[in-house]
Each structure stands twice: as C-alpha cells, then as structure tokens.
Amino acid sequence: MLNQYPWWKYLLIGLILLIGVIYALPNLFGENEAVQISPARAAVTVDRALYDRVEKTLKENNIPIKATELDTVQRRLLVRFQDPEAQLKAADLLRNTLGRDYVVALNLAPATPAFLRALGLRPMYYGLDLRGGVYFLMQVDMNAALKLAEETYVDDVRVLLRDEKIRYVTVDRAVGGGIRVSFKEATERDKALAALQQKLRNLQIGEIPDSLDLKLALSEQEIKEKRDLALQQNLTTLRNRINELGVSEPLIQRQGADRIIVQLPGVQDTARAKEILGATATLEFRLVDTDHDVREAETSGRAPVGSRLYRDRQGQPVLLQKRVMLTGDYIVDAASGLEQQDGQPAVFVTLDSTGAKRMEEGTKDNIGKPMAVVFIENKTETRLVEGESRKSSYKVEEVISVATIRDRLGKRFQITGLDTEEARNLALLLRAGALAAPVEIIEERTVGPSAGQENIDQGRRSALIAFLVIVGFMGYYYRNFGWLSGVALAFNVVLIIAVLSMLQATLTLPGIAGIVLTMGMAVDANVLIYERIREESRLGNTPQAAIHAGFERAFATILDSNITTLIAALLLFGLGSGPVRGFGITLSIGILTTMFTAVTVSRAMINYLYGGRRLEAIPV
Amino acid sequence: MQTKFRTFVGETHIDFMSKDKLALGLSLAVLVICLLSLLIRGLNLGLDFTGGTMIEAHYPEPVAIPAVREALSKAGFDDAQSQYFGTSSDILLRIPPREGLGAGDISKEVLAALKQVAGGEQVELKRVEFVGPQVGQELVENGGMAMLFALLGIMIYVAFRFEWKLALGTIAATVHDVVFTIGAFSLFQIEFDLTVLAAILAVIGYSVNDTVVVLDRIRENFRKMRRESVREIMNASINQTLTRTIITSFTVFLSVVVLLIFGGPIMRGFSIAMLMGVVVGTYSSIYIASAGALQLDIKREDLLPKAKEALDNRP
C-alpha cells in the first residue's frame, strides 16, 4: 500500500517531537527577580549556615521571599522574589550584612520548575539585546606587553653585567624594539657577549655593525609566549574584577589573538564598569632619594643620575630612586581597612614568597629610610588624526604615599596615607591584580532593561503574527494539507526553541527575525510537495500515487534549495558579534529543523490520516 | 477524476524566454543605475561600519527634535545627528568618532545634555553603542569576505550538483539581487548597518534557494522532454514551477512584512533589505538564471551524462 509508514517510524518521529517539546518546555515559565550570592574568595563557604543567615535577615526586615536555593556545587545561593522592588531592597540589605566576603548580584533567574531543572533542562539563553546589559570588546595593547618584557630584560642585563664586572656604557630599549647595550671597549663587549649567551639564552644576540654595541632581541617563540601570557593574565584579571562588580552571569572570553569579549548582563552603570575594567593599575615600591635635594632637582628640571622626579597627589615633587624595589606583580591580596594604631584608612597588602623575599632584601638595609608607593595607571586611547585612527597610550604616575620603613617588610605590610574611598579603590585594583598590558575598549553596546523587554515583546509579537498569517494562508490555499503544514510549522518552531535551549546558544533580536524568516521559508518545502502533488494529479495519477510521487520527487529539490541557504546562513557566523551572529544561528538551526518537520513530520501526518485509504479527491 | 484546486495562477503557458533579451536589458539598465548610485552617492553606512557612538533615549513625554539639537549643541555635540526613533518620545542620536572621548564619557555628557531639554529630567538611555574605528573597518572587510565566500560556496555547490553554466547563471542571478538591494539602499540613502548586511546574506541564500528550484526542474525536463528545444524546455520549467515560486515568495514576503510592521525600529533596515531581496529574487530566479544559462548556450548534453538519479521512473 502507498503512503503508509511502519509503526516504528511513527514512534520514532513522535519520540523526537516529544523530546523537542520537553526541551522547549522550560521556556514557558518566564523568570523571577532574584539575588545571587556567591563567595568573593575561595576560602569563603556557601552552606546551610549562610542560607539560614540570609533567610533570617530578610525575614527580620519583612522582605517576602519566593524561594531560596542553595547550590553547593556551583557555590552559590539564589534567593527569588516576587517583584523587582523586593529584589533591590534585599540586595542592598544583604550587601551591607554580608560584607566583603560575598558578592551579591542582581539576577533574573529562570523560573523553571524543579523537576525540569533536575533533568538539566534550561530555557534559551537571551542575548544582551533582549535582557539588557553591556557588551565590551577590548583590545589588549600587545606592544605595551612586549615593552614591559623588554624592560624587565634591561634590568636583568644590567644586573648580569654588574655581577660579572663587565664595564658597559648604557643598557636601554632600542628605538625600533629590542635592547641595545653599548660598550667602550671591544674586549668588554666580547666578555659581555659570552656572558649573555650563557645566562640569557632566550635572547637573540647580534652585533650592530660600525659600533661596539650589542643588540638583544626577544625570540619569536618568546614574543608569542609573552603575548599569550599577557592575554591570559588580562582574562584572569578581568574575571576577578568582574567578580568584584557583582554580575550574575558574566561572560569573559578570548577572541582572536589580542581581543577579549566581556558581556555583563543586567549591568546598567557602564561608567563604573568601565572604570574598573579599563584601568590598568600597578604599584611600584621605590626608595626615596635622600642624598639629593628635591627642590634643586625641581628648579633645574633635571633629576640626579639614578633618580627620577615624581609628584604626589598634591602636586609636590618627590625624588625617588630609579631602581624599582618591587612591582605590583607580586601582590596576592590587598584589603582596605583601618589601621589599628591611629585609625587611619589603610590598604593591607600581602605578597607572594618571591615578592616577600625581594621586599625583605630591599628593606632590610634601609630601615628608617622613607619608601614611596607609586601608583601607575595605564590608559590607552584612540584618536582620530587626519581621518586615521592612531593609538596612543600614556601613563599616569603618582606617588600615593611616602612612609618611613619601620621594620624589615615581609609578606604582609600596609600602605597608609589615603582616604577611605581611595583605600577601597586601590585595594580593589590591587586585589584584582594589575593588568599585564593595557586594554582599550574598542566596541561597546549597552541595552537598557526596558529596551531589552521591548525587544522581547516585539520579537514575540512578530513571531506569533507571522505564524498565524502563514498558517492561515497555507490553510486557505492548500486546505487540509495546508493546515497540516501549519501543525508541522508549529513543531518546527518548537524544535528550533528546543535546539537553542539544548545548545544554550544565544537568542538575539535578529535571531528572532531568523525564526520568523524560517517560518516563511519552511513552508516552501510544503509548497514544493503540494504543488508537485497537484501536478501529478493533473497528469491523471490517482490521489495516493500523486501524494507519493509529490513527496518523492520534491525531496531532491528541497534538499538542494536548503543546502544553498545553509551555506549562506553559516557564513553569517563570521559576521561581527552578538546580535547578527544570533541571526545566523537561528537561520541555520531553522533550515535543519525544517528539513525534518516539513518533510518527515508532514509526511507522517499525511500518511497517518490519509495513507492506505481510497481517496476520492486529494485534500490539497 | 480531477480534483479542483484552490489556486491563484493555475496552469500557465507563458513564453518567458521570448522576453529574455528584454529582461536582460532591463536588469542591466537597473544594475547600471545601482552601480552608478553606489559610485556617486555611496552608501549611508551605519555606525557598525563607520565607528562612532549611537544613543537611543526615551523621554516620558513627546519631545521636540530642535530642542534636543540645541541642548546637544550647547554641550559641544554640534555634529550629532538626532531623529525620532519609532515614536516622538524616542530619539536616536548619532555622534561621529571624536578625539579623546571614550564611549562612557560621551554617553555621560550626552545624558547630561538631554536632561537639559524641557521636561527631560526623566530621560532614560535605552541603548548605547560605541564602535571604535578599527572595528568598523574590520566589519566592512569581514562583511565583504562573507558575501564573497557565500557566493563562491553556492557556486561550487550548484556547479557540482548541476552544471557550470547553470551555476554561472545562478551566481549572475544572485549577484543581480545583491547589487539591486545594495543599490536601492544607496539610491534612497537608507542606513546600511550590520543587520542589513545580514539580511543581504540571507537574500543570497533565499535567492539561490528560489533559483535552484527552477534549475531542478530544468534538469528534470531536459531528461524527460526529448524533442523540445532548449528554449521550450526552459519555458516549460519556469511555467511548471511558477505557482510554487509565487506562493513561496508570498509566504516569505508575508513574514518579512510582519517583521517590518511589528519587529520594531531596530529590525527596519533588515526587513527592508529582505523585502527587496525577496521581490527581486523572485524575478531573477525566473529570468536571470535561466536566461543567463541560455546566453551561455546551454545544451541538453550538458545535463544528461550525470543522469543517475531515478527521476525518469514514473511510478
């Protein structure tokens, strides 16, 4: 008999559709306003005690809770509320009570019922244009990272030459990159060459013709490593800083060789976010030059050899030794608080063991002498000069405190001389670690929460209306078969939503447009089949034969036309970021689900309803 | 026993190919206009490609654009373009890239300026987009590459599945649609942003989809209709697929119109591009692809050797 499927085929198709429906199900339940509490440091625990403490605090303040969920695996506590007002009140309250140990973030938690969550099912992941938030694309300044690496080598070379008692004139970064070491005598140079080759193997050493100078350069391998390291360190640092910001589901991702994507859903205060993300700050500890007169240096505008002139916050000149005792790289923790003795705001710094050793060595012979903390902020900006964009980075260096070394400093010490706010910010920047290389925001997209909701509404409305219009038309034009293609289209949309939920791919507004467009194109497969059936029928075939031939013959065409569309859709992935990529995603998924629903599901329905019977006329 | 079908077009026997010279000439003329416009007027490139800052703001009450301009100009944003966005209480500002100011600074200053407008204390920034000059440049390059690769990929597929003359015809039809759509954006100076580029890629996909259906039928008919001339086969194929072409174009058209009306202002450019693409794509799959292949002197033998599929076995 024509047009009959074996029972297992119906079962299989039914099963696939059932799975699709189950995966799409979590999208029906919307979201709750929630507050997410996670530990700020690894040592802090998220447990039943915290759960009780939070519930008690909220109850005492008469803030109604919808539900509280403790997730010990992901180490977070989620408190759901009925309305945004309760959410905001609770967040403020909890921030105050829990203090610095926990990050309290606002969140829109999916209101998926527990039994679905237990199955690991989640609703679609909305893009920033639908949920509101900030998107940053940051460029890491690799030149600065390499410069930093070279500067470290300059120090190493100096130390090495001094230790080996080799006389040199200068060691400095060369103009076009690399390090240039100049000598007065050829014998000294040759000694240096031997020593450098032996001790600093990573460097490529060459002689500069017509001079007694040596040129040292980083190897390709090392340059690559430095770049990777700079990016990696930036990623880590950004992650830490974003934790400090209290965002519930941040995304920090590497893109290409020197870029980082940061997505902060729900963040509205972009100014503050950028202040914290963009600044690269580091500290340097230097000894104050007490052998020379500051005023003399200031009036002459020239610092004595081995020293440099700095300014403090009030603009007063300070003369510091050129040699850096310690950089901020060795800082493992920094906290702001009040000093015990006189209650002044202070930053408590903890160093790692290498840093502690260096600090110890640097301070042990200098007890009683003043030491300065220099705060260095790297800022980068792109300016348009005569229509071309040029990048320039500049350094802001400021002496933030000068204090007498009271004792040999080690692993832990404190910096004073700041006000409370400054201490807090400095601690935050230090704790998050100094960025290895400055980053610049080269793209930013912010969507307000109301705009996000509007986009969701417009998207949903468009999808619904498009669905009704298309199904209405198909039903009118192809009668019963047309309505069946409407059912297939509904399954198609369910499957698209299911696949999106399964993959947790990002749904954006253009993504919704992709779904709407898919609806319009999906019925094409049905149109092809139905037109073919009509044609076969006109040629005098019996209804069953016409239906059979229609499906069989249209299939090759459907395949061809869909594959070509898929090629174009896949290339959309390469187009920029975020929203537009979302269009490529839904369009591609839509094409695949269409192949299944419009051909297989439609056919199964038609076979089930009409197959194997005597048909007087074709219901198409 | 003939079923009565509900239909708009019915069976047609239009001699499309007799008008092939006319169609080609008409298309060429329009293409020349589009290209000239692209050369002379260029595209009204959106922020995605030029770089700069775009700010969408919402006032609780309708607001007058001149007042907004004045406030912005006072704050030093003389070069800001402002316009309504959807309603008269929503405005969209475009600020060209400027020296020394990052996105955060600009949005802060603009917000302050917008609050100066009478009744504007409650103004709300709905969307801020900042694109650095280098990103814009890259998007232009990536967009161009994506389009080229799409065309290339499709050409290879069609050449592999069908035959190179039909592949060239298909690509001619697709390029035709793309140039037409982009040209219209240039002629009417509609803003061309990233979503429009995405729409154009979708148009490429759609246009080929449409064409492939006609090609499929041409191939099938070459095998079935042994006596007819190439021209007659082309005509028959187009006529046989005409209803399908029109119905499908119509449903896609419907969904795009729904997007245009209900999708909100962000999707407007996208919808317009799709709309034009669908209309032109329908025309080009009827004419350009087959007429192009005809011009390339396609023969029965070009399509016959690969006839392994069981298309001739009538049940």
pLDDT number for residue A67: 87
Q: Which CATH class is domain A279-446?
A: alpha beta
**Whether residues B217 and B295 fall in one domain:** yes
**Whether residues B228 and B301 fall in one domain:** yes
pLDDT at A494 over 50: yes
pLDDT number for residue B310: 44
* The last residue of a domain, from among B108, B131, B154: B131
> How sure is the predictor about B307, in pLDDT bands with cuts at 50, 70 and 90?
very low
Are A30-111 and A143-222 equal in CATH topology? yes
Burial A247-285 (b: 16+ CB within 10 A, else e): bbbbbbeeeeebbbbbbbbbbbebeebbebbbbbbbbbb
> How sure is the predictor about B312, in pLDDT bands with cuts at 50, 70 and 90?
very low
ipTM over 0.85? The verdict is yes
Extract the tokens encoding A397. 């260096």
In CATH, the number for domain A30-111 is 3.30.70.260
**Whether residues B145 and B269 fall in one domain:** yes
**Average of pLDDT values for B118-131?**
82
- Taking the model in full, what pTM does it have? 0.78
pLDDT number for residue A377: 67
Measure the CA–CA gap between A438 and A141, rounded to whole angstroms: 6
**Average of pLDDT values for A136-141?**
86
Cβ contact A450–B56 (<8 Å): no
* The last residue of a domain, from among B131, B157, B186: B131
Measure the CA–CA gap between B48 and A73, rounded to whole angstroms: 41
For residues B307 and A93, the model is more confident at: A93
A472 close contact with B: CB closer than 8 A = no
Measure the CA–CA gap between B178 and B3, rounded to whole angstroms: 40
| A471 Cβ contact partners less than 8 Å away, ≥ 6 residues apart | A482, A483, A485, A486, A489, A490
CB A267 within 8 A of CB A126: no
| C-alpha to C-alpha distances, A207 to A210, A213, A216, A224, B87, nearest whole angstrom | 9, 6, 9, 24, 70
pLDDT at A374 over 90: no
**A7-26+448-610: CATH superfamily:** Multidrug efflux transporter AcrB transmembrane domain (1.20.1640.10)
* Domain extent listing, chain A: 7-26+448-610, 30-111, 143-222, 279-446
Q: Is residue B192 part of a domain?
A: yes
**Whether residues B126 and B245 fall in one domain:** no
Question: Alpha-carbon Rg of chain A, whole angstroms?
Answer: 34
Please choose, from the candidates A396, A413, A398, the residue with its C-alpha nearest in 3D space to the C-alpha of residue A362: A413
Kindly list the residues from chain A whose CB atom is less than 8 angstroms away from the CB atom of residue B267.
458, 462, 509-510, 513
CB nearest B266 (choices: A455, A476, A479) = A455
**Average of pLDDT values for B276-298?**
80
Q: How many CB pairs under 8 A join A and B?
A: 274
Kindly list the residues from chain A whose CB atom is less than 8 angstroms away from the CB atom of residue B148.
none
**Average of pLDDT values for A432-442?**
66
Burial B248-275 (b: 16+ CB within 10 A, else e): bbbbbbbbbbbbbebbbebbbbbbbbbb
| Best mutation target, A137, A462, A564, to test chain B (most B CBs within 10 A) | A564
A600 close contact with B: CB closer than 8 A = no
**Domain tally, chain B:** 2
CB nearest B255 (choices: A389, A466, A565) = A466
Altogether, the residues listed in chain A come to a count of 620
pLDDT number for residue A100: 65
CB B270 within 8 A of CB A513: yes
**Whether residues B173 and B272 fall in one domain:** yes
**Average of pLDDT values for A190-200?**
85
Measure the CA–CA gap between A603 and A617, rounded to whole angstroms: 18
Range of the domain at B74: 52-131
pLDDT tens digits, A218-241: 888 888 887 887 787 778 777 766
CB A205 within 8 A of CB A214: yes
Q: What is the fold of A143-222? A: Alpha-Beta Plaits (3.30.70)
B177 close contact with A: CB closer than 8 A = no
pLDDT tens digits, A40-82: 666 678 888 889 989 898 998 888 888 888 888 878 888 998 8
Lowest mean pLDDT among A112-121, A150-159, A529-538, B166-175: A150-159
**How many other C-beta atoms can be found within 10 angstroms of the C-beta atom of residue B98?**
15
Measure the CA–CA gap between A531 and A481, rounded to whole angstroms: 11
Lowest mean pLDDT among A493-502, B41-50, B106-115: B106-115
Kindly list the residues from chain B whose CB atom is less than 8 angstroms away from the CB atom of residue A270.
103-104, 107, 128
pLDDT number for residue A188: 86
Lowest mean pLDDT among A48-57, A333-342, A449-458: A333-342
In the stretch 198-217 of chain B, residues with CB closer than 8 A to chain A read: 198, 201-202, 204-206, 208-210, 212-213, 216-217
Q: Is residue B121 part of a domain?
A: yes
pLDDT at A299 over 70: yes
pLDDT number for residue A128: 86
**Whether residues B244 and B103 fall in one domain:** no
| Residue A250 CA from chain centroid, whole number | 6
Task: Output the average pLDDT for chain A.
Answer: 82
**Max avg pLDDT among A232-246, A252-266, A302-316, B252-266:** B252-266
pLDDT tens digits, A570-595: 888 766 556 778 888 999 999 999 99
CB nearest A477 (choices: B158, B161, B247) = B247
pLDDT number for residue A463: 95
Q: Is residue B9 part of a domain?
A: no
pLDDT number for residue A495: 96
Which CATH number goes with the domain that contains B99? 3.30.70.3400
pLDDT number for residue A66: 87
Cβ contact B248–A521 (<8 Å): yes
pLDDT number for residue A72: 82
Extract the tokens encoding A91. 């967040």
Measure the CA–CA gap between A36 and B68, rounded to whole angstroms: 40
State the DSSP string of A148-180.
Answer: HHHHHHHHHHHHHHHHTT---SEEEE-TTSSEE
**Whether residues B94 and B123 fall in one domain:** yes
| B315 Cβ contact partners less than 8 Å away, ≥ 6 residues apart | A541, A545, A548, A549, A552
> How sure is the predictor about A379, in pLDDT bands with cuts at 50, 70 and 90?
low
**Whether residues B186 and B57 fall in one domain:** no
For residues A271 and A474, the model is more confident at: A474
Please choose, from the candidates A326, A344, A347, the residue with its C-alpha nearest in 3D space to the C-alpha of residue A425: A347
**Whether residues B276 and B235 fall in one domain:** yes
**Whether residues B93 and B76 fall in one domain:** yes
Cβ contact B6–A538 (<8 Å): no
- Give the rounded percent of residues in chain A with a pLDDT score beyond 70: 89
A386 close contact with B: CB closer than 8 A = no
- Give the rounded percent of residues in chain B with a pLDDT score beyond 90: 18
pLDDT number for residue B2: 47
- DSSP state for residue A601 in the 8-state scheme: I
* The last residue of a domain, from among B84, B111, B131: B131
**Whether residues B295 and B180 fall in one domain:** yes
Measure the CA–CA gap between A526 and A475, rounded to whole angstroms: 12
Lowest mean pLDDT among A213-222, A511-520, B92-101: B92-101
Lowest mean pLDDT among A144-148, A167-171, B62-66, B139-143: A144-148
For residues B193 and A436, the model is more confident at: B193
| Best mutation target, B137, B259, B268, to test chain A (most A CBs within 10 A) | B259
A453 close contact with B: CB closer than 8 A = no
**Average of pLDDT values for A344-372?**
82
Cβ contact B240–A553 (<8 Å): no
